């Protein structure tokens, strides 16, 4: 399948603290994406700086690195047709105030600095981000879902 993609999704420290891990996972499961890797970890400052390198120099950068390292996250890799766009749409706009109802941020968050969840913004970002958080051996891209044919033709 040409458009089979992986995307990196993380429940950020606020989402974990607020008990929203299950809620976030549930939305992706129900949508039909396939979970191929998951772990809980405490992000180090250097991992945070690598992951958010594109934002270095912006006014919110120091606060962002602090936020993501405050307490554990749950890191996940989801696979499916157009997984990157599907996940971004399900997550909603960066600023929860502008996020549509029905999206994770639009339903569960109020502030840009506490927006619960991360999702890769392109297939290239996804591959880069997955490598920061997972070894290849920690991913199970080939497990068979018995109802796969009822999700994709």
Binding region for Mg ion (CB under 5 A): 121
64 interacts with ligand IDP by CB under 6 A? yes
Catalytic residue chosen out of the listed positions 42, 51, 55, 118 = 118
Q: Is 147 a catalytic residue?
A: no
Residue whose CB is less far from ligand IDP, 101 or 146: 101
CB of 141 to Mg ion, least distance (A): 23
CB of 95 to Mg ion, least distance (A): 12
- Residue for token pair 């969840």: 117
Q: Which of residues 98-117 bind ligand IDP (CB under 6 A)?
A: 112-113, 115
CB of 149 to Mg ion, least distance (A): 33
CB of 137 to Mg ion, least distance (A): 27
Residue 113 touches which of Mg ion, ligand IDP, none (Cβ within 5-8 Å per kind) = ligand IDP
Rg of the chain (C-alpha set)? 15
For helices 123-133 and 83-91, angle between their N-to-C axes, nearest 10 degrees = 80
Residue whose CB is less far from Mg ion, 66 or 122: 122
How far apart CA 69 and CA 44 sit, in angstroms, is 6
The upper half-sphere exposure of residue 93, i.e. CA atoms within 13 Å in the direction of its Cβ, equals: 10
Residue 64 touches which of ligand IDP, Mg ion, none (Cβ within 5-8 Å per kind) = ligand IDP
Residue 105 touches which of ligand IDP, Mg ion, none (Cβ within 5-8 Å per kind) = none
Q: Where are the alpha helices (DSSP H) in the chain?
A: 13-17, 21-31, 45-51, 61-68, 83-91, 104-108, 123-133
The 3-state DSSP class for residue 33 equals: coil
Phi then psi for residue 137, to 5 deg, are: -70, -10
Residues annotated as catalytic (active site), given as ranges: 118
């Amino acid at each position: 399948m040409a458009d089979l993609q992986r995307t990196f999704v993380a429940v950020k420290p606020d989402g974990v603290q607020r008990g929203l891990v299950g809620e976030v996972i549930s939305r992706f499961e129900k949508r039909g994406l396939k979970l191929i890797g998951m772990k809980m970890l405490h992000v180090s400052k250097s991992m945070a700086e690598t992951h958010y390198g594109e934002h270095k120099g912006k006014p919110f950068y120091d606060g962002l690195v602090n936020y993501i390292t405050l307490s554990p996250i749950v890191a996940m890799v989801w696979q499916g047709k157009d997984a990157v766009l599907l996940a971004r749409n399900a997550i909603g706009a960066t600023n929860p105030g502008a996020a549509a109802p029905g999206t994770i941020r639009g339903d569960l968050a109020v502030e840009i600095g506490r927006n619960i969840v991360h999702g890769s913004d392109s297939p290239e970002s996804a591959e880069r981000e997955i490598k920061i958080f997972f070894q290849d051996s920690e991913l199970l891209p080939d497990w068979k879902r018995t109802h796969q044919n009822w999700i994709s033709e």
